[in-house]
Every structure is written in structure tokens, then in C-alpha cells.
Amino acid sequence: MTETLSDIGEFGLIDLIRGLLQKEQVHAPEVTLGIGDDAASFRPGRGRELLVTCDCMVEGSHYLPEHMNPSDLGRRAMVMNISDIGAMGGRPRYATVSLGLRPETGLADIKAMYRGFISELRPFKASIIGGNITKTEHSAFIDITLIGEVETGKIVRRSTARPGDRILVTGYPGQAAAGLRLLREGKTHDNLINHPLIAAFIRPSHRAVEGQIVAQKGYATSMIDISDGLLGDLGHICEQSNVGADIFQDRLPSNGHMKEYSLSQDKPIYHMALRNSDDYELIMTCLPENMEAIKSELASLADTPVTEIGRINDKPRDISLIRPDNSRYKLFPTGWDHFIGEMD
Amino acid sequence: MTETLSDIGEFGLIDLIRGLLQKEQVHAPEVTLGIGDDAASFRPGRGRELLVTCDCMVEGSHYLPEHMNPSDLGRRAMVMNISDIGAMGGRPRYATVSLGLRPETGLADIKAMYRGFISELRPFKASIIGGNITKTEHSAFIDITLIGEVETGKIVRRSTARPGDRILVTGYPGQAAAGLRLLREGKTHDNLINHPLIAAFIRPSHRAVEGQIVAQKGYATSMIDISDGLLGDLGHICEQSNVGADIFQDRLPSNGHMKEYSLSQDKPIYHMALRNSDDYELIMTCLPENMEAIKSELASLADTPVTEIGRINDKPRDISLIRPDNSRYKLFPTGWDHFIGEMD
């Protein structure tokens, strides 16, 4: 018999999770009180600002259980939050995890999900210090709040890009969205689960270490992670910095898997790179003289691909695609809105 | 036409909330970045520990929309979290609010809910610094993470009660649970909404200021807020402190409304006081010589009722009710478990 949440109840599950965390996660001396009291507590580091982000995944809206096992689900939910902290230049430290679960949820699945959370936090010596378990009758949800630290004054915002800045992007945005489409088309048998595009959706990267280094060195004028697509998030930078951008179509990064998918769909590859995306890559802007330093810093780190895709201009919210023949095509920076759908 | 979330979308709602917060909430200079970037940021105070708690309300499991208007719903969700911070001796400072909403949710209701959050945070000069909006097709949910501050070393835990300590409780636990029962029996017409027991459920108190003062003065040996009922939460203190407790039946606090309800239900009033409760009162333990100081401190504050209900003994997890004839009746400290129901 598979043991479920309704067999041990909320208090039983809290004990189980506490035991698992005690045994398997990193214990930072700054955490003065973990799970088991009215609140958790920690001592903030001196000379640090604290960063707080929260992100939620709802079954049905953000994921389907048949597409993702509980461990990958846990990793993905934590990656989304780690990416947000990294995009400010911060180091992830303390997480609270709030779960909405159906009573028939298996305990093995819940443990696997926590191991997914922990595996993503461990490289940062970050830990889960609190949380909440709630009963739900319908869609399960995972809501994580992640607290990070950054040296005072080193935060990199969205609102500080300046005309003349170069625009850089890490990795190959567009892969995860293509992977999700493949999954939705029902192509979920074993060999496709290992398809690189599907893997990009199920087990996305984050670039938090890259974000920290660039912030620490003071190289970036602005930074954002890509969760609304390259164009959508570049739009957030332009809007909040009151600038525009020129994007060179032939510089947009793509790899073999994207090319293959683009051909199979008869869709231009630049469209894949610009639109919907859940790749959690970073967009950075920088002074021209800092571009090579960023590239070599990130290349030495983990061979992270970084591509210069364009430059910031002084026309507020005016984003243009510069075609290979140098003609301009105006782009409208809209992302995926769950309540409306794609807005363009 | 009532404007709904699906009319303006996620990004429209974020703009609307940002505007509302900008205009209506307290702005602390410690908040260096609010809503609108990948994460919010603040500068922690020197010589402070930070407290983190999170609590979630799910429609259907924790509340019914027909019982509570959006403003009261917002207040209640925030009170639950404020109470947890107060029960550690902390001052609430920074909140993130994660909402799961159906597309047809009215904007006026969402605004009313935020005004509910703000009204509870304002007395502490605390503010909402971030959050998340998620689409859900079924039950809505409100998940709040609240960060508080406390002077380093002043945290009051559950695990530090000692034999011989006196047990104090604030207010009249048991009212909210009776109010919820009245609501569930369908007694929701206007004059009943103003019934004191129903008001205790819909607009619960918290004792965060009381908790802060007692912690600051170092008067309490342990403290917890009551969300699982007086007995359930006293059970948490006993379990984690490895002690037991004697409760004097005739000292359990009750008021006229509880007496009336107890008579109408033909149920002993001490049962109401001990069992299910959502009153967010505090249980404190203290050395006998500090009891009067606590009472007078809280009386001078806001006339907060404080009642000595018993004492801590050295028998681990052994909680007894001492009857008026001095006979002992063993109690089993179980609270409400949403996945199992009442466990005794």
C-alpha cells in the first residue's frame, strides 16, 4: 500500500519533512531556528541587503503531473526562485515552502519533491527554514519564498539600462517553450523525455552564479531573468529604464535542436528565440568596454554561452529587430499572460 | 460591467497593485526596492534576528466566500501571519503576498483584499514588498510570507518551558470556533454577522504587540499562538519542552457569549475553551515571580485579558485537567488536522 498524506495528517507530514531536512540539507550557522516553531529565524550578514522573491506553480496552469516527476517538479519550482535572486546579483540563502496538497498525495512523492528542492539549494549552502502545508481538493500548488543576500549597494536592477549599452543574453532562450509544445502534442514517451528541448523545460537551468559574479564586479548596468520570453523581459528593462533597444536578428543565439525544431515547424528561428520562454537565462546590459570582461568571466566559470544581441537606444519602449539587410522591424514586447494568453 | 482580472491580465493587475501600495501603504526607508523587479530588497536592522513565517488560506478548506468579504479575508490572512511573528516576540516588517485567482475575479474585490492586508500591517509600519499572481481554475488561495525583526537573543520559543512555570493565556479562546459553527449552520443573516462569536472568527484579534513586550522584557519562558486550539498548542509547548501541564478547569477563561453558546449546545464550557480555535491568542509560560509583571504590563497596554490557567509539571507530555473537586482528568493534546479531521 502506498502511504498517503491522509494516513499521517498535517502534523505527521511536518515531522517527516523536519526529519528529512535535518538529515539531508545543509545547516547554516546563521539559521537560529528552523521548522517547528511559530516562525523560523536567522541572523542576517553584516553589510548585506536581503532580497525576497516568491513564485508559485499551480497544477494544470503551470505543469501537468504526467509531464514531470515530483523530483523534477521540486527542482523546477526552486530554480524559478533561484533565478530571480540571481538576476538581482544575489546569493540564495533561506527558503520557505508552502504546499497545497490533496489528501491522497503519496508520501514518497512529497519526499521526492523535497529532495528536488534541496538539490537545487545545496550548491548555494541555502536551506529550507520553514513552510506550510495546506489541504486542497483540486489543483495542487507549490509556492516558494526565497530570501537571498547581496553586498549592500551591489543589487542590479531592471531600471538602470542606458542608451549605448550592449545587450547580452546567456544560453539559448526558446528551448523550454519548444519542449513544452512537444510535451503538449503528446510526445511524452521515454526517448522524448530525454529530448534536449523537453529537458530544457523539465529541468531548466538558472544562471544565479553568473548573475552574482557580474553584480559583484559591477559590470552590468541592468539585469533580468527570462521568464516571459527574451522579448517580454527585454521589454521590462526598456519600460522601467525608459529606453529602447535594437536587436540584431542574425545574432540571436540558437543551437542545433532549435534549428531542427524551427525547420520542422516551418517557423523562423528568431521567433523561437524572442517569444515565450521558461529558460531562466539572463539578459544583461553593460557599457561597451565591459562586454569582453563579462564574456571572459562567464566563459571561465562554466563555459556559459553569452551572446551580444543588440544595443540600448534612447527611444523609450521602442524595440526594433534589425534584419540581415539592415531593415528595421518594430517588435512589441509582450509576454505570456496566464489570464489573457499571449498578448500579441 | 464589473471589471475582472481577465480584462486586465497579470501584468495589468501587477501595475494596479503597485499603484495601490505606492499610494496607501507605509514606506519604510529600509525597503530599498519594492514590487516591480525580479525580487524586492531591504536592509536588515543591526543587532536584529529576522523571523520568517508563512501561512496559507485556501477557499473551501479554510474559508467560504459567502462567509467573508474580501477585506475581512485579507485582514484574516494577514492576522494569522502577524500572530506567528508576535508569538516569537517579533515585530512584523515585510510581507510577500502570493495569490491564486480565477480569471473572473473582480478587480474591486482584489483591491479590497489588499486594503485588508495593508490595514493590518499599518500599525507596525510594515509593508507588502513583493508577491506573485497565479491563475487557478478551482479554489482561490492566499499565501503570505511575513518577515519580522526581533532584538538578537530575545526570541521566545516553544521549547523552553520549565517545570514550575505558570501558564497564562490571553483573551477568550474558543470564540472563533463557535462562530464558525454558527456560520456553517447557515446563520449568516445580517444580525448574526455582528454576533460576537462570528465576529471573532471573521475578524480575529492577534496579540503581536503583547508578544513583543513580553519578549522584550524577558518575562516569558515560552510562548506560542493559538491556532490549533488551547490544548493543541499547549501540547506543542509540552512536546517540544519535554514537560507536562496541569490545567485548572475553573480557571479557563470564558465570557458571556461563550456561556450562552455553551448552554445552547449543552456542551461544557471548558471544552469550548480547550478545543478547536482560530482566535490567535497567546499561551505564555513564565516563572511564578514574573506573572504579576506580565499581567500588569498587558493590562496597561490595551486592557488585554490575561488569565493564569495552570502550571507546567515535569511529566513529559502529560496534560491533566484539574477538576473543581481536585480530581485529575487526562487530556490528549490534539488539534484540528485538515487532512484527518479532529484527531481525538
Return the residue in B11, B13, B31, B37 with the most chain A beta carbons within 10 A, the one to mutate for interface testing. Answer: B37
- Residue-wise pLDDT for A201-236, tens only, equals 999 989 999 999 999 999 999 999 998 899 999 999
Domain(s) of CATH 3.90.650.10: residues in chain A: 166-334
What mean pLDDT comes out for the span A312-341? Answer: 86
Is residue A132 a contact partner of residue B77, using CB atoms and an 8 Å limit?
no
> How far A51 CA sits from the closest chain B CA (Å)?
4
A10 has a chain B CB within 8 A of its CB:
yes
Of A39, A335, A340, the CB nearest to B52: A39
The values of phi and psi at residue A160, to 5°, are -125, 20
The values of phi and psi at residue A225, to 5°, are -95, 155
- Take residue B301 and report the three cell numbers written for it: 497596554
Beta-strand pair B328-331/B282-286: unpaired
> How far B158 CA sits from the closest chain A CA (Å)?
6
Supply the mean pLDDT for chain A: 92
CB under 8 Å to B147, separation ≥6 — which residues? A52, A147, B50, B51, B52, B92, B93, B94, B95
Cα A337 to Cα B64: distance, rounded to the nearest angstrom: 28
Topology of the domain comprising A5-151: 60s Ribosomal Protein L30; Chain: A; (3.30.1330)
Cα A124 to Cα B298: distance, rounded to the nearest angstrom: 44
Is residue B149 a contact partner of residue B50, using CB atoms and an 8 Å limit?
yes
Cα A309 to Cα A167: distance, rounded to the nearest angstrom: 6
Q: Which amino acid is at B2?
A: T
Please give the ipTM for the structure prediction: 0.93
What mean pLDDT comes out for the span B315-333? Answer: 93
For the cut 70, the answer to whether the pLDDT of residue B344 exceeds it is no
A160 has a chain B CB within 8 A of its CB:
no
> How far B260 CA sits from the closest chain A CA (Å)?
32
What mean pLDDT comes out for the span B78-103? Answer: 97
> How far A208 CA sits from the closest chain B CA (Å)?
12
A132 has a chain B CB within 8 A of its CB:
yes
Write down how long chain A is.
344
Beta-strand pair A91-101/A127-135: parallel
- Take residue B69 and report the three cell numbers written for it: 468579504
Of B11, B56, B338, the CB nearest to A98: B56
Cα A44 to Cα A151: distance, rounded to the nearest angstrom: 12
What mean pLDDT comes out for the span B5-27? Answer: 93
Q: Which amino acid is at B126?
A: A
* Least confident stretch, A164-173, A248-257, A261-270, B314-323: A261-270
Residue B313's pLDDT is 98
For the cut 70, the answer to whether the pLDDT of residue A343 exceeds it is no
Chain B residue numbers with beta carbons less than 8 Å from the beta carbon of A335 are 11
What mean pLDDT comes out for the span A267-275? Answer: 90
* Least confident stretch, A278-282, A303-307, B191-195: B191-195
Q: Is A101 helix (H, G, I), strand (E, B) or coil?
A: strand
Beta-strand pair B306-313/B40-42: unpaired
Cα B169 to Cα B324: distance, rounded to the nearest angstrom: 19
CB under 8 Å to B12, separation ≥6 — which residues? none
* Least confident stretch, A178-192, B292-306, B308-322: A178-192
pLDDT tier for residue A344 given thresholds of 50, 70 and 90: very low
Alpha carbons within 13 angstroms on the beta-carbon side of residue A240 total: 20
Nearest residue on chain A to B159, alpha-carbon basis = A37
A159 has a chain B CB within 8 A of its CB:
yes
pLDDT tier for residue B3 given thresholds of 50, 70 and 90: very high
Cα B11 to Cα A333: distance, rounded to the nearest angstrom: 12
B90 has a chain A CB within 8 A of its CB:
yes
Residue A53's pLDDT is 97
What mean pLDDT comes out for the span A98-113? Answer: 96
A252 has a chain B CB within 8 A of its CB:
no
Residue A66's pLDDT is 84
Strand partners for A168: A284, A308
Q: Any idea what the Cα angle at residue B72 is, between residues B70 and B78, rounded to 5°?
A: 105
Choose among A94, A140, A1: nearest CA to B56: A140
- Take residue A7 and report the three cell numbers written for it: 494516513
For the cut 70, the answer to whether the pLDDT of residue B272 exceeds it is yes
CB under 8 Å to A273, separation ≥6 — which residues? A172, A173, A174, A230, A252, A253, A254, A258
Of B9, B39, B152, the CB nearest to A52: B39
Determine whether the interchain pair A130/B60 forms a contact, defined as Cβ–Cβ distance below 8 Å. Answer: no
Is residue B48 a contact partner of residue A44, using CB atoms and an 8 Å limit?
yes
What mean pLDDT comes out for the span B64-69? Answer: 88
Domain(s) of CATH 3.30.1330.10: residues in chain B: 5-151
The values of phi and psi at residue A31, to 5°, are -80, 110
Percentage of chain B modeled with pLDDT above 70: 95
Cα A133 to Cα A11: distance, rounded to the nearest angstrom: 9
A316 has a chain B CB within 8 A of its CB:
no
Cα A214 to Cα A194: distance, rounded to the nearest angstrom: 32
Strands (E), chain B: 31-33, 40-42, 48-58, 91-101, 127-135, 141-151, 166-170, 220-225, 244-248, 282-286, 306-313, 319-322, 328-331, 336-337, 341-342
pTM of the model: 0.94
Please tell me the class of the B166-330 domain: alpha beta
- Residue-wise pLDDT for A3-45, tens only, equals 999 999 988 999 999 999 999 999 999 999 999 899 999 999 9
> How far B269 CA sits from the closest chain A CA (Å)?
27
Determine whether the interchain pair B9/A339 forms a contact, defined as Cβ–Cβ distance below 8 Å. Answer: yes
Domain(s) of CATH 3.90.650.10: residues in chain B: 166-330
Is residue B207 a contact partner of residue B86, using CB atoms and an 8 Å limit?
yes
Residue B228's pLDDT is 84
Report for A321-335, B78-92, B260-274: range of highest mean pLDDT: B78-92
Return the residue in A52, A57, A80, A343 with the most chain B beta carbons within 10 A, the one to mutate for interface testing. Answer: A52
Of A96, A100, A143, the CB nearest to B52: A96
Determine whether the interchain pair B139/A143 forms a contact, defined as Cβ–Cβ distance below 8 Å. Answer: no
Chain A residue numbers with beta carbons less than 8 Å from the beta carbon of B138 are 137-139
Residue A342's pLDDT is 54
What mean pLDDT comes out for the span A172-198? Answer: 81
B33 has a chain A CB within 8 A of its CB:
yes
Helix (H) or strand (E) run with residue A148 in it: strand A141-151
A18 has a chain B CB within 8 A of its CB:
no
DSSP states of A243-275: -EEEEEGGGS---HHHHHHHHHHT--HHHHHHS
B55 has a chain A CB within 8 A of its CB:
yes
Cα-only R_g, chain B? 21
B39 has a chain A CB within 8 A of its CB:
yes
- Residue-wise pLDDT for B37-66, tens only, equals 999 999 999 999 999 999 999 998 888 888
B11 has a chain A CB within 8 A of its CB:
yes
A190 has a chain B CB within 8 A of its CB:
no
- Residue-wise pLDDT for A73-93, tens only, equals 999 999 999 999 999 999 999
Supply the mean pLDDT for chain B: 92
Chain B residue numbers with beta carbons less than 8 Å from the beta carbon of A44 are 44, 48, 50
Choose among B321, B306, B328, B241: nearest CA to B275: B321
Choose among B207, B190, B197: nearest CA to B306: B207
The interface residues of chain A toward chain B in range 198-217, judged by CB-CB distance below 8 A, are none
Return the residue in B99, B339, B342 with the most chain A beta carbons within 10 A, the one to mutate for interface testing. Answer: B339
Cα B222 to Cα B285: distance, rounded to the nearest angstrom: 5
A54 has a chain B CB within 8 A of its CB:
yes
Question: Which pairs count as long-range contacts for B120-123, CB under 8 Å and 24+ apart, including other chains?
Answer: B120/B74, B120/B75, B120/B78, B120/B79, B120/B82, B121/B25, B121/B26, B121/B78, B121/B82, B121/B92, B121/B95, B122/B25, B122/B26
Chain B residue numbers with beta carbons less than 8 Å from the beta carbon of A54 are 96, 98, 130-132, 145
Is residue A184 a contact partner of residue A201, using CB atoms and an 8 Å limit?
no
Tell me the CATH architecture of domain A166-334. Alpha-Beta Complex (3.90)
Query: Could you say which DSSP state residue A131 is in?
Result: E
